[in-house]
Amino acid sequence: MIQKSYSKFNPEITFTDDTYVIIGSGIGGLCTAVFLAKAGKKVVILEQHYVPGGFTHTFNRKKGLTWDVGVHYVGNMDEDSQLRHIFDYLSDGQLQWDAIGDPYDVAYINGRKFEFVSGLENFRQQFHDYFPEDKGAIDGYIQLLQKAAKKSVFYFIQKMLPGLLKHTLAPILRRVYRPIAKKTTHEVLSSLTKNTELIAALCAQCGNYGLPPQESSFAAHAIVINHFMEGAYYPRGGANRVHETILDHLHTLGVSTYINATVEKILVSERKVQGISINGKKYSCANVISNAGIHNTFQRLLEPKHVPVAYQKLQKIPASTAHLCLYVGLNKDDKSLQLPKHNIWWYADEDIEAVIRRPLTKNALGFAYISFPSAKDSLWNSKHPDTATIQVIGSARYTDFEPYATAPWMNRGETYDAMKSAFKDKALQVLLQQFPHIEDHITHLEVSTPVSTQKFSGYQRGEIYGLSHTPERFKSAALRPKTSIKGLFLTGQDITLVGLGGAMASGILTAATIIKWKMKTQFGQIMK
């Protein structure tokens, strides 16, 4: 049972100097922990929230209603994929997946419908049908995606090169990848076509990396789009099964995970980790792996005098987007209500940047992402009969909610509640435009804001994707597992890329940086 895999923080927690202390139980930290533990390293995981799992956790309300908070779907999880094999390894074969099927995403842009289907050639034909006058541009776009996929390996490899190779080979590998990363998505697509509707349709899934095409690096866009090219999947039993199965595996490997364990400081002396401060108590250790995010690690967990210059420069890269979410509960099942498995990307018009950046004070939403977690999960009806859940996500600016960040949870004041209510009404309006028949079956409505995300994730700007995926991000040579502080390592989406796959990749890179060639043995087991 999952209860045996983690404990509430208590004063008796102990670990030795040679223990690798991981801050944060998101997938990057969990992945790192499995590989280290399998290599014989001592590992402990600390989580500041009262539930583990980072953005893989779920939350419950009355009558068994459950929603995910971050994992809405995952690409490249067919049974023969490398990613699937890795998650099988991390979960000891206990994590299962349900295919969403086709279409897995549907975009509505200014009233026109676009379906995203699995398979590169199916994708090509679908968009040829939508835009018969732009077949050349579509083929050119696909060629760029394929080229980016081949070159992306250089982006990941250069992050774990040691010693002399870090200064010689790594810059060469970054130069190979630079043409893909230095331009925005809009710049690349505009070089292929002037059809603004086609550009908008190809960028309809940009919410997966949190930036409109005018701001995002094409590298981020290409990796995310390639990730879903062969279809999408959902964890069977809910998003929480990702961390539950991995934590159960870690328990068998002797790894303890503590919740309500807030790390205040990483203690450093003479450019070397000396210990860590947890819930007001100091502990000695020589190795810390931060899965708390770049800004948290170097702005909050380290004293300013210990922050290396390379990481001071990273402060110029802003935090990624914040969001609002309406959680909807229903008193009938998905099949009865004819709710889809696919996600919906809804845009009021084709100017994606404008509608995403439209402030909350406007009369209506310009953008919404609608997800159906209960419909995607084949086990839902057996556990939660006669119910269904939906989420409607909209973009938000943290600055609009920042004045309420220090107010008590669940009691932030009338103005804050009014802002939530305004979003609820607008999001519900978009939802009911698509599914008017569900109105009489709604039993629960609840809104989360950027300060909700801040409270539960620890991200200081309420961001969900860490550092923004801008061209500037991809220029940095500092976003790698090993830092210039001896004993301090990084993992998580900030050193690689957004999403479950990106965070998992960071865990592999971090573990490989520490245990080096011992990873070869483990990967041999994965690919059997």
Give the pLDDT confidence of 287-307 residue by residue, as tens digits. 999 999 999 999 999 999 999
Question: According to the per-residue pLDDT averaged within each range, which of 2-6, 188-192, 407-411 is highest?
Answer: 188-192
Higher pLDDT, 142 or 318: 142
At residue 428, the pLDDT reads: 97
Confidence at 3, pLDDT banded by 50, 70, 90: very low
Structural domains in the chain, sorted by start: 2-85+235-317+467-526 (3.50.50.60), 119-230 (no CATH), 322-457 (no CATH)
> Does residue 454 have a pLDDT over 60?
yes
Number of H helices, E strands in the chain: 21, 21
Higher pLDDT, 454 or 184: 184
Residue 376: half-sphere exposure toward Cβ, Cα within 13 Å: 32
DSSP string, 372-429: -HHHH-TTHHHHSTT-EEEEEEEEE-HHHHGGGTTSPTT---HHHHHHHHHHHHHHHH
> Does residue 359 have a pLDDT over 80?
no
At residue 361, the pLDDT reads: 67
Higher pLDDT, 409 or 237: 237
The pTM (predicted TM-score) of the whole model is 0.94
> What's the N-to-C CA distance of the chain in angstroms?
28
Q: What is the mean pLDDT of the chain?
A: 92
Query: Closest Cα to residue 506, out of 493, 525, 524, 489?
Result: 493
Cβ neighbours around 26 below 10 Å, total? 30
Q: pLDDT of 109-133, one tens digit each?
A: 999 999 999 999 999 999 999 999 9
Cβ neighbours around 264 below 10 Å, total? 15
At residue 2, the pLDDT reads: 37
At residue 425, the pLDDT reads: 95
* Range with the poorest average pLDDT among 227-231, 317-321, 483-487: 317-321
At residue 4, the pLDDT reads: 44
Over residues 318-343, mean pLDDT: 95
Query: Closest Cα to residue 42, out of 69, 24, 19?
Result: 19
Q: pLDDT of 420-436, one tens digit each?
A: 999 999 999 999 999 99
Confidence at 163, pLDDT banded by 50, 70, 90: confident
> Does residue 253 have a pLDDT over 50?
yes
SS (H, E, C) 85-138: HHHHHHCCCCCCEEECCCCCEEEEECCEEEEECCCHHHHHHHHHHHCHHHHHHH
Confidence at 6, pLDDT banded by 50, 70, 90: low
Q: What percent of the chain has pLDDT over 70?
A: 97
At residue 310, the pLDDT reads: 87
At residue 14, the pLDDT reads: 78
At residue 528, the pLDDT reads: 67
Query: Closest Cα to residue 526, out of 275, 512, 514?
Result: 512
Q: pLDDT of 370-390, one tens digit each?
A: 999 999 999 999 999 999 999
Instruction: State how far the alpha carbon of 488 is from the alpha carbons of 19, 271, 285, 387, in Å.
Output: 12, 10, 11, 46
DSSP string, 174-229: HHHHHHHHSSBHHHHHHTT---HHHHHHHTTTGGGTT--TTTSBHHHHHHHHHHTT
Q: pLDDT of 410-423, one tens digit each?
A: 889 999 999 999 99
Over residues 242-265, mean pLDDT: 94
Higher pLDDT, 19 or 6: 19
